[in-house]
Structure 1
Amino acid sequence: MKSTSALTPSPPSATMQLFRQAGLLAPTDAQLAQTEGLTSTEFSSRYPSRADFVLHATLADFERQKADHLRLYEHYSAAVERLYGLLNYALIDLTDLNPLYLSELVGFPKVWQAFQDHLASYSSPQLQQLLNEGIRQKLFRSDINIQLVTIILLQQLTMVLTPGVFPAAIPVAEIFRSIFLYYIRGLCTEEGARLAAEHFARI
């Protein structure tokens, strides 16, 4: 049995929790200063605009996720388990995310670009490495086009993040699950599918 604490997301910062619950525009500067442990004067001096601060909080959250991924990798050696572990991690991390957060995100071009840069510089190599390892371990089909599959997975993620694609009433985590879960299972060999069965059932 894997350690539950090792496979679940560490709590986002108080600031990011506030953004996820209330959106990016509703929290006041005074509330945000409090979550950062700053006075209002210090906060306004350090972050002249809301866009500057949202970018700061977003980049910090990327680092939280990267650290969590390393912790998850320590508990799974097989590529298919790692990929399903990352999927389950994302589902938990997205639970109770206010759709307003995503709809307001596109109003911050630098932050939206930071997401795209993160996908290109971190998520894309991460997926390519897992697919390569999975093929070598005979857990993913050897005839898949790694570059193309990586692009498809990232485009699917972009679709999840893009406001207006799905009805706001549908939880983001459920959208994520429906898009990725079955697609990834289709990449598996019989051996990979058997290994992934426990993770698939849990998700």
Structure 2
Amino acid sequence: MTTPSLQQTLLEETQQLFLQHGIRSLSLERIIQLLNVSPATFQGMFADKDDLVLQVARQDLQRQRNEHATLFTQVSSPVERILVLLQHGIGEMQKVPGTNYLEIQQEHPATWELLMDHLTTYSYPQIQGLLNDGILQKQFRGDINIELVTKIILEQLHLILNPVVFPPSRYNLAEVFRSVYLYYIRGLCTEEGIQVAAAHFSRL
């Protein structure tokens, strides 16, 4: 097992700082202080805060892709793979303060572009591929509009996590997830796919 480089370690620690404090509230000087690294060492790896935010996001997206690959070794059905991906995505988004995305969009355009590109080139094709696999394996109905269903599935993710629509004080997130996706995914499924989805939800 390879030892993480200093730069990789600093990126992981910075990610935790951003999750705890947000991005805007931390000045570059404060970040360097909290990381307990010399300014010279830091500046040898990162041009400025904008570059730091970009590198943190890039490394975190790679971590998520690695975790998806691990999840896929544990489940083989396209129906169940979509469901575990969505659960993973919700878990990831729950960890991020709601203001972080707004701060990135407003103040770190290169990072925002990276996130949007990830959605376009990774998340959408991933869901589309699983839907197509499910159709070929006769777990999803053959008449679904893959492009439209992909967008609906990903938009539902944002809906579930919208605190205005589902205030955490009133709604259990796991139950919201079940209520949204169990019935929507069931509607896309053949009888075989329905059994797979029901078995997955019975284990939650």
Relative distance call for 1:168 and 1:58 in structure 2 (3 A) is farther
Runs of 5+ in structure 1 lacking a partner? 1-11
For 1:18-167, what aligned pairs fall within 5 Å after superposition? Answer: 18-33=17-32, 38-107=37-106, 108-156=108-156, 167=164
Q: CA deviation at 1:104?
A: 1.4
Q: Which fold has the larger relative contact order, with Cα–Cα distance below 8 Å and residues 6 or more apart in sequence?
A: 1
The structure having more radius of gyration, on CA atoms, is 2
Q: Deviations over 1:13-56 (max 9, x none)?
A: 22212212211112232453367674222323432332211111
CA–CA distance in structure 2, aligned partners of residues 157 and 13 of structure 1? 25
CA–CA distance in structure 2, aligned partners of residues 102 and 185 of structure 1? 31
Relative distance call for 1:76 and 1:103 in structure 2 (3 A) is same
CA–CA distance in structure 2, aligned partners of residues 34 and 74 of structure 1? 40
Count of aligned positions = 188
Runs of 5+ in structure 2 lacking a partner? 1-10
For 1:183-202, what aligned pairs fall within 5 Å after superposition? Answer: 183-202=184-203
Relative distance call for 1:133 and 1:46 in structure 2 (3 A) is same
Normalising by structure 2, we get a TM-score of 0.76
Could you tell me which amino acid in structure 2 is paired with residue 112 of structure 1?
Answer: W
Relative distance call for 1:202 and 1:49 in structure 2 (3 A) is farther
CA–CA distance in structure 1, aligned partners of residues 64 and 202 of structure 2? 24
Could you tell me which amino acid in structure 1 is paired with residue 145 of structure 2?
Answer: N
The answer to whether the Cα contact below 8 Å between 1:106 and 1:112 also exists between their aligned partners in 2 is: yes
CA–CA distance in structure 2, aligned partners of residues 123 and 81 of structure 1? 16
Could you tell me which amino acid in structure 2 is paired with residue 193 of structure 1?
Answer: I
Q: CA deviation at 1:155?
A: 4.6
CA–CA distance in structure 2, aligned partners of residues 169 and 136 of structure 1? 35
Identity %: 39
